[in-house]
Structures are given as structure tokens and as C-alpha cells.
Amino acid sequence: MRNKKVIITADDLGINSHINQGIIECFQQGILTSAALLMNAPETKEGIALAKKHPGLEVGIHLSIVEGIALRESESTITDTVKYFDNKICLIKNWKDFLKKYMLQQINFSELEEELELQIRLFLSHFTHIPFLNGTQHMHIMPGVWKIVLKLAKKYSVKSIRIPGFSRPSVLWINQRLPFIIPFQVLGELARKDCRSNGIKYPLVVEGMQYSGKIDTKRLLLILQNLQAETTEIVMHPGYESTELRENMPWAYRYFNWDWERTALQSDIVKAYIKEHSVKCITFSTL
């Protein structure tokens, strides 16, 4: 059997200095290989500077379908009434509110496409290419949204995309987020077919989203011990405690534990397991 390969990605680079610090530390001292950069967050500029200072860290784009400052700078069907970032016009604050408007057909997809393209163009004003992309709260594979994301990925030669999905039932499915796993499986398979037909790469399996913000050392080991596919992406949210995020955005970060995830990624126990079982840490560029 071939050795298992893992891409270990930190989402939310740029959202906050405490998170930025934790992500870079996990690259320097831990097993982190990649980071997804927000182009419309309070500390995006710092995130860009850190990415350029650490070129060994693979940095892709974390497309904000929800959660972020609206680069269009105007209120629209994709913005929120709450100005939760720097008192600026912000995108819909979470997937639940987005889904309500989506189901009621109140989302103007032309506005969404313009917003996402602005994010991509801003990324490319600082970096030569986009090695990978994903979407906030995995909303990028929603029908309609996915059509836009795929169109932009092809237009801007994005090499790889995170497509949420699992290979087969396992102990990792026993989780309170189980009801969300099934639709991700179905939508993910449709998106994977589109990627294959357009020559876009993707990890075969994505783990970690079922424990988002709560991956301690024990859970990270559990994921590693249950790797099924040849290539798996493990989604992480490492950082240092951010009172600002917890207080200003309780709907998103009330129960997050960035410290757990940062500690897990630097754990000697985790490092030893990877070495002993010949698990290879790779990037999207080496898929």
C-alpha cells in the first residue's frame, strides 16, 4: 500500500493578528503546509506580508462567500445589516443567513460573482498565481455559487480546489455535524466531476470540517489514524485566543478553540506518529 499523503491547511489567514501569529508559528514549528488567505478581512495586509516573508508556506485564497468586508463597498443582496468588521459594509455573516436568502432566491448571483472576482484580482495583485482556493464555510460548492467559482477558477487558472467530501463511513462520521455530511457528499461529487473535466486538481478526501475549531491533539491523531485515501486535506483553524473575534462575532467563534488546534499542529506526539507511519505532508502544488 502506498504511503498516505496529507495537506494540512489553516483557514482564515488575515482575519486577525492573533490568528495570523498562530498560523505562521504552526508552519515554522509544526506540520502545517498550506494557508488560505482572506482578501477582505481586518488583517489581510498583515497576512499578505507574512505570506511573502515565509515563501515556504503555500498560500491560496479563502474566497469569502460569507463573512468578510464587502470589496464592492455597497449594500446588496450579499451583504449584512451588521457591520461586524471595522464598522464597514460586510458580507452576510454566516451560512445560516446566506442559506435563508439563497432558498428564497434573494441572492443576486451577479453581485456575488463581482465580489468574488474582486477578491481574486486583489490576491493576484500580490501573488503570481493561485495554487488553490476554497470558500468560507464551504459555501463554494452550493449550486449557483459553484457555477461562479468554477468559471472564475478556469478564468484565472486556479490549479486546485478544496471539494468537501469523505471516502466511506468511519468513526470520524460519529459527530454532531453528521446531518451536514450527506449533502456535502452529494454536492461534492458533482463538483469533483466538474473539476475532473476541467483539469482542476483536488484532494480525494477532506477531513477536519466535522470538528471545525475544536481539533485538539487527540482528534488530530484520530484523523491521522483513520486516513483512507491516498491524499487527504486536513482543515485546521490554529491561532491564539482572540477575545475580539469571540466578542464581535459570537455566532461564528463563541465555541472555537484556536489554542487547541495550534497546540495539536505542533504536538510532538503528532509529529512522531507522522514519522513512524510514513505519512507525507505535501501541498496542493504537489498533488
CATH of residue 64's domain is 3.20.20.370
For residue 181, the model assigns a pLDDT of 73
The predicted-structure confidence for 142-179, as pLDDT tens digits, reads as follows: 999 999 999 999 999 999 999 988 766 676 766 666 66
Average pLDDT over residues 269-274: 98
Statement: residue 1 has pLDDT above 70: no
Range of the domain at 125: 5-286
Looking at the structure of the chain, the number of domains it has is 1
- 3-class DSSP assignment, residue 160: strand
> Which class for 106: exposed (0-12), middle (13-18), buried (19 or more C-beta within 10 A)?
exposed
The pTM (predicted TM-score) of the whole model is 0.94
Give the pLDDT of residue 184: 79
Q: What is the pLDDT of residues 81-104, one digit of tens each?
A: 999 999 999 999 999 999 999 999
Cα dihedral value 102, 237, 86, 247, nearest 10: 90
- Residue 56 grid cell: 515556504
Q: Cell numbers of 110, please?
A: 451577479
